Amino acid sequence: MARFNVGGCAVSVPILASIVVSLVLTVVLNLMLNC
C-alpha cells in the first residue's frame, strides 16, 4: 500500500500544479481584458 500511496502523491502533485497554473492564467487573462 505504501508504494501505491507514494505513486498517488507523485501523480497528484503535477495535476495540482497544472490546475493552479490554469487558474492563474485565467485570472491574469481576465485582468488583462478588464484593464
> Which pLDDT tens digit goes with each residue over 1-35?
455 556 666 667 778 888 999 999 999 999 999 87
pTM, two decimals, is 0.56
Could you tell me which of 20, 22, 15, 14 has the C-alpha nearest to residue 30?
Answer: 22
Report domain extents, the chain: 1-35
User: Which amino acid makes up residue 16?
Assistant: L
Helix (H, G, I), strand (E, B) or coil at 1: coil
